[in-house]
Amino acid sequence: MTEHALDPLTEQEITAAVQAVKQSAGLDESAWFETVSLAEPDKAELAAYDRSSSDYRSGNPGNGNRGNSDESEASIERRAYVCCYEPSSNRTYQGFVNVRTAELQSWNHVPGAQARIVSEEFAAADKLVKSDQRFRDACAMRGITDLNKVLVESWAAGNYAIDEEQGERIAYCYCWLSNDAGDNRYGRPIGNLHPVVDLRRRKVIRVDDFGVIETPPDTAAIRPTQDLRNDIKPLQITQPEGPGFTVDGYQVKWQNWQLRVGFDIREGLVLHSIGYSDKNRLRPIMHRVSMPEMVVPYGDPAPGNFRRNAFDTGEYGIGQALDSLTLGCDCLGHIHYFDVCSHDWSGNPVVKKNAVCMHEEDYGLLWKHTDAQTGQSRAVRSRRLVISSICTIGNYVYGFYYYFYQDGTIGVEVKATGIPFPTAIAAGEASEFGTIIAPGVQSHVHQHVFCFRFDMSVDGQHNSVSEVEFAAAPVGQNNPHGNAIKINERKLPSESDAQREISLGTARYWRVLNTKSLNRFGKPTAYRLAPGANALPFLHPESSVAKRAGFMFKHFWATQFAADEKYPAGWYPNQSAGGDGLPRWTKADRSLEQTDVVVWYTLNFHHLPRPEDWPVQPVVYAGFHWHPDGFFDENPALDVPPNRGE
C-alpha cells in the first residue's frame, strides 16, 4: 500500500493528535473530542507533492501516487484538524496538530460556538432522562412502566430565543416505546412528551408535556416471521477474471478514471483528485467532492414538533454514523471495501470496517446504432464504477452513491430508507400536516435537503461558470413555422450572479468551463451540471431553520475557492442563530472568471410519507449528473468493445 498526503488519518496519527492536545492545549478533564480529522494540504503544496511522484516524472501527472520517489522530494506535512468541547467552561476549541512530530501548532477558542453532538452524549441523555422523576411520572400517566423499552432520542435544540436555553448546550428529546418484537425502537411514539436536557451540566432542565395521547397499538414489526415470499430465485453476479479496477491504498484506477477515496468524520465519504485519461493524458475534472451539509426540516407547527429539524452533517456528523457494510445486501458483486478510522469522544481511535464499498455494475445500453439499409447493428453495454457509503442517523438511513461512467459522466445519487419519523395521533383525529401511516401513528411532511460541494478543476483551476437556457424563438421571417428553439448561454461572472434555481420552463443547466483549454472546435472544454428531481423549501425565510440553512433557497451556488469555506451553513450550526455559510461568504461577490471555482448543488427531496413507508420505508432515489460538454472531441466511449458472447 502506497501512502499519500490525502489518505485518511490512521489510528496512530489520531492517537498522536489527541496526545498533543491533551499535553499542550491546557484543557481540563471534562473536555472531549468532537473531531480529529485530516487537515488536507493546500493546493499549491499538494501540487508540488504530486509533481515529485514517480508517475509525474514518467509522464503521467496528477494521479497523486508517490510510488518509489525519494522521500525528501515527496514529503509533505501531515496535519490533523482537532475540535474539542470543554463542558466546565462551555467552550469550543479548534486547532491543528502535526501528527508526525506530535506538535500542537495552533489552538484557539471559538466564541459562541457549540461543537457537534456526539454519540456518547445521546447515550448519556437517554440515561439522564430515564432517571428523572418528572419523566417517569409522565410515562406512568401513559401506562408505561418498563423504561427499558423506552427510547429517548436527543435532537439538537436549534435556536428559538428561549431564555433558559440561550448560551447553553441543549438537547430537545423525542420518545418512543419499542415494539414487542424488539426490531423497531420507533414503533410506538410517545406523544407530546419532550424532555429538555442540559448536555453540559448533564441534567434535565424541564419536561415539556403537552398532553397525554394514547400510545399507538403495536403494528411496527419490521421483519415478519411467516408468509415470506418463496419465489425469489438466486441471482449471482460474478467476475471470473476479477474486477476491472485496481487499488493502491486509497487510490483507484478504473478504465480511464483515476481518483482517491477519502474520509472525514463530519462529511463521511470524500473523493479527491478525480481525473479522466484522454489519449494518454490524465485530465483533471474535480479536486474534491463531498456532501458537507444536509438539513431535514419538518412541517408540523405543534408544540414540540415545530423544533424538529436536523443538520445531520453539521450538528451530528455523517462520518461518525457510517455503517459497516455487508457483502450481498448493502453491496453486490465483486466488492472492494475501504476501512476508515474514526474516534470516540475520549479521542480513542475506532476503526470502521467496510465503511466504503466499491464495485462495478452493468448499466444496460451504452450506445447503439442500427443501419436501416443493411440491417447491421452495433451496440455496447454500459458499465459503471460505484463508490458508496451508508449512514444510519436515528430513524433514517442514507446511502450516498457516486457513479463513474465510461463516457466521462459522473452521477451522484442519494438513497433514503429507514423509518419515517413517527408521531402519535389521537384516534379519529386527522393529520393536518402529514399522513396517518398506521393506527395511532402519523408522519409529517418534511424535506431532506442535501448540499454537495464540488471543488472544480476542469482541465486545471482556471475555470469560469455559465448558465444555459432555452426558449421558443418568436415566429417571424427567421422562424416561419414556429419550431425554432433559441439557445441562450450567459456568463455568471461573480458570486451574486451564480445563485440560481432550477427551471423546467427553460430546461436550465450550468457549465463549468476552462477558457484556456480549447477543444478541436475552438470552444472551451467544460462539464455540465444537469439537475434531476428537486424542490424548493416551504419555510418562511424568517423562520429559525431558514436563517440557519440559507443555502437551501438556491439550487446552484458558485464561489471562488477559499480554504476555510467548507460548510454551507457554517462551521458550527449547532444552536447557531444563523446567517453563516454561503449567504455570508457570497456577499463578497468575488469573481468567477478564470479562477479556482467551487460549485455547490442543493438537492431537495420533498417527502410526504405514505402508509407504504411503514414500518420501514422502501428506498427512494434522488440524484443528478455531471456530463462532459465539449470536454472531449468526440464520444469517448467509442473504444468500449462489445460484450463477449457466451
> CA-CA distance, 9 to 345, in Å (whole number)?
16
Choosing from 312, 459, 580, 613, the catalytic residue is 312
> CA-CA distance, 9 to 16, in Å (whole number)?
10
> CA-CA distance, 165 to 160, in Å (whole number)?
9
The three three-digit cell numbers of residue 129, written as one number: 432522562
> CA-CA distance, 387 to 261, in Å (whole number)?
9
Question: Which of 567, 557, 630, 558 is CA-nearest to residue 595?
Answer: 558
> CA-CA distance, 131 to 129, in Å (whole number)?
5
Q: Which residues sit opposite 261 in a β-bridge? A: 271
580 annotated active-site: no
> CA-CA distance, 16 to 100, in Å (whole number)?
8
CA distances 541 to 176, 536, 554, Å, are 32, 12, 12
**Kind and range of the H or E element at 49?**
helix 43-51
> CA-CA distance, 403 to 582, in Å (whole number)?
27
> CA-CA distance, 31 to 149, in Å (whole number)?
32
Choosing from 81, 250, 276, 396, the catalytic residue is 396
Task: Note whether 636 and 407 are within 8 A (CB).
Answer: yes
Task: Note whether 360 and 384 are within 8 A (CB).
Answer: yes
> CA-CA distance, 596 to 267, in Å (whole number)?
22
126 annotated active-site: no
Task: Note whether 247 and 255 are within 8 A (CB).
Answer: no
Active site residues: 312, 396
